[in-house]
Amino acid sequence: MAAETPKGASAVADGPVAFRTLEKLGPHLSMMMGRGGFHGLLTRALFLAAAEVPWLTTVQVVDGDLVGLKVAHSESDQADLCNGEVVLLAQLLGLLAAFIGPALTLRLLSQIWPQLPFDDPDFSATANEEKAE
């Protein structure tokens, strides 16, 4: 998500970063798994994420796109939105790793975001370093 946030802007203030991340990830996954495969993966990730974040129940997947985000954004506060975005992205990446394996998932992510250090599987250390800068 940090790679999709412009320098000097916070993820919360700048809008739905995870959804921009999903928009960037979607075409790659659709090419790899087919549009139906990506639709199924995103639908399952949304279902799992909605169990943790209630406002996500108002969002649907239609043709591989998330529908209902504008309503959710108008009815939820920024912290809830950010939390939902993170949970949805985490669920999607977790499912992807379960289906194709962690190594192939990391390789795909490194192709999309080559500036990120995917050689370190502990991403929390990288996130903490970026916050310090």
Instruction: Identify the domain containing residue 56 by its residue range.
Output: 2-128
pLDDT given at position 129: 46
Q: Which position has the token pair 């912290």?
A: 79
> Do the domain assignments include residue 6?
yes
Number of domains in the chain: 1
Q: How far, in Å, CA of 131 to CA of 49, rounded?
A: 25
> Do the domain assignments include residue 70?
yes
Q: How far, in Å, CA of 45 to CA of 13, rounded?
A: 25
Q: How far, in Å, CA of 78 to CA of 85, rounded?
A: 10
pLDDT given at position 128: 45
Q: Which position has the token pair 């394996």?
A: 101
Q: What is the reported pTM?
A: 0.75
Give CA 12 to chain center in angstroms: 14
> Do the domain assignments include residue 133?
no
Strand partners of residue 65: 62
> Do the domain assignments include residue 106?
yes
> Do the domain assignments include residue 26?
yes
> Do the domain assignments include residue 121?
yes
Contact 76, 55 (CB under 8 A): yes
**Contacts for 25 with CB less than 8 Å, ≥ 6 apart:** 92, 112
> pLDDT tens, position by position, for the chain (133 residues)?
555 655 554 444 444 555 778 888 889 999 988 999 999 999 999 999 999 999 899 899 998 888 888 777 667 777 888 888 889 999 999 999 999 999 889 888 888 888 877 665 554 444 444 444 4
> Do the domain assignments include residue 122?
yes
